[in-house]
Amino acid sequence: MNNGINLILNNSTLDSELKNITEKIYTGTRISDEDALYLFENGETGYLGILADYVRQKKHGDLTYFNKNFHIEPTNICIYNCKFCSYVRKINQEGAWEYSVDEILKIVESYKTSGVSEVHIVGGVHPQRDLHYYGKLMQGIKKIMPDIHIKAFTAVELEFMIKKSHLNLEDGLKALKAYGLDSIPGGGAEIFHDEIRKEICDEKASSEMWLNIHETAHKVGIPSNATMLYGHIESYFHRVHHLSKLRELQDKTGGFNTFIPLKYKKENNNLSYIGEVSVIEDLKNFAVARIYLDNFPHLKAYWPMLGKHLTQISLSFGVDDVDGTIDDSTKIYSMAGAADKNPKMTTNDLVRLIKDVKRIPAERDTLYNIIKQYN
């Protein structure tokens, strides 16, 4: 595994700054914000891939993770109007949906014997639904599937439902935990830098609030994930700033499991004119994230957004997790233009995708306990 990085270290034509950064990575020394920016601006794709793969291999050896999961999107009705969102609708607007608790529980019932270990619940911020509404939904889910892990609600949804129920953050999160919430997904982070956040999602929870909610969740024993929406109007500087806020909080709490870069998809939203970044940009972004976020255990490629081919290639750029079977249960990305209109992979498909790159597929639960290894 050291061949590639040794070749880089012994390459006399490599610029001295890149050589210094390579030495830091080789010796397990944390890279600085300036280093990360330098890598984004000057690191050639193949070079970044070798470094990120070196870091991944040190953390996970030959294992690459996936899980068996499904999504529930209770509603796409939302009080906010994020410019990148293709999914949002207002009450009674064409294309709006809001499932009742009974309708959702019927969906859950259909997964009872399917072997899934996780349900991922995210949706719009519905003006009439508070913490207790979602709490009762989680109780209903656990009644049907007592062992299922509920990973639910972005920090943006959480801020609204907790406020609507007149609780402070800590009490709100404790109440949700008591109702059955096991972990929090990474959505709503977008880009933390105010200059960009103001332009793309001015109305919803601030960056400080997102970080505060995740910090409080970790404090009360709810682990979480983190995301970054990239490839729109942000610069490399803004991405490094975002990553630095995450690394700082992770140093403090250790409560994050996974970082998931989310590629901006351009269809049917108010930023469509920007277009989408190239595949090379996606790979560089995975690689720099893997190298910089030394305290994040996992880096996930979310295949419904990236597509299966790019997901497979990302496994050579620091990624060790490809999310799950999904079972055609999410619309966020297909509405934004992702190639897969009905995202679904069988366990065999995921195992094959991972084995093709000579890794050992490991079915995991949400907290990365291994359920089964496919040697």
The site partner of 185 among ligand SF4, ligand V47, none (C-beta below 5 to 8 Å per kind) is ligand V47
Q: Which of ligand SF4, ligand V47, none does 223 bind, CB closer than 5 to 8 A by kind?
A: none
- State the minimum distance, in angstroms, from the CB of residue 28 to ligand V47: 27
Q: Give SS3 for 265.
A: coil
Q: Are 144 and 108 in contact (CB under 8 A)?
A: yes
Name the β-bridge partners of 370.
364
- Shortest approach of ligand SF4 to residue 310 CB, angstroms? 22
The secondary element (H helix, E strand) that includes residue 221 is none
* DSSP, res 227: E
Picked from ligand SF4, ligand V47, none, the partner binding residue 225 (CB below 5 to 8 A depending on kind) is ligand V47
- Is 12 buried (19+), middle (13-18) or exposed (0-12) by CB count in 10 A? exposed
CB of 352 to ligand SF4, least distance (A): 33
Residue 187's closest CA among 202, 204, 172? 204
Pick the closest to residue 331 from 56, 130, 120 (CA basis).
Answer: 120
Tracing tokens 């277009």 back to the chain, one arrives at: 275
Task: Pick one of ligand V47, ligand SF4, none as the site partner of residue 264 (Cβ within 5 to 8 A by kind).
Answer: ligand V47
Interface of this chain with ligand SF4, residues 195 to 234, rule: CB under 6 A: 201, 204
Q: Residue 105: CB partners within 8 Å, gap ≥ 6?
A: 137, 140, 141, 144
| Site membership for ligand SF4, residue 78 (CB under 6 A) | yes
The CA angle 176-181-187, to the nearest 5 degrees, is: 100
Is 262 a binding residue for ligand SF4 by CB under 6 A? The answer is: no
Per partner kind, with CB cut-offs from 5 to 8 A, the member of ligand V47, ligand SF4, none near residue 190 is ligand V47
| Smaller CB separation from ligand V47, 47 or 302 | 302
Give whichever of 38 and 66 is closer to ligand V47, judged by the CB atom: 66
Least separation in angstroms between CB 271 and ligand SF4:
12
The residue (of 149 and 331) whose beta carbon lies closer to ligand SF4 is 331
Binding span for ligand SF4 by CB under 6 A among 79-87, 100-108, 278-286, 344-352: 79-87
Phi then psi for residue 72, to 5 deg, are: -125, 130
Instruction: Based on the shown chain and the rule CB under 6 A, indicate whether residue 125 belongs to the binding site for ligand SF4.
Output: yes
Q: Which is nearer to ligand SF4, 52 or 78 (CB)?
A: 78
Question: At closest approach, how far in Å is the CB of 305 from ligand SF4?
Answer: 14
The residue within the footprint of ligand SF4, chosen from 82, 155, 158, 161 (CB under 6 A), is 82
List, in sequence order, the alpha helices (H) in 169-278. Answer: 169-179, 194-200, 207-219, 236-253
Applying CB under 6 A, does 88 fall inside the site for ligand SF4? yes
CA distances to 71, 116, 142, 368 from 150, rounded to whole Å, are: 10, 11, 9, 14
- Positions touching ligand SF4 (CB under 6 A) are 78, 80-82, 85, 87-88, 124-125, 156, 201, 204
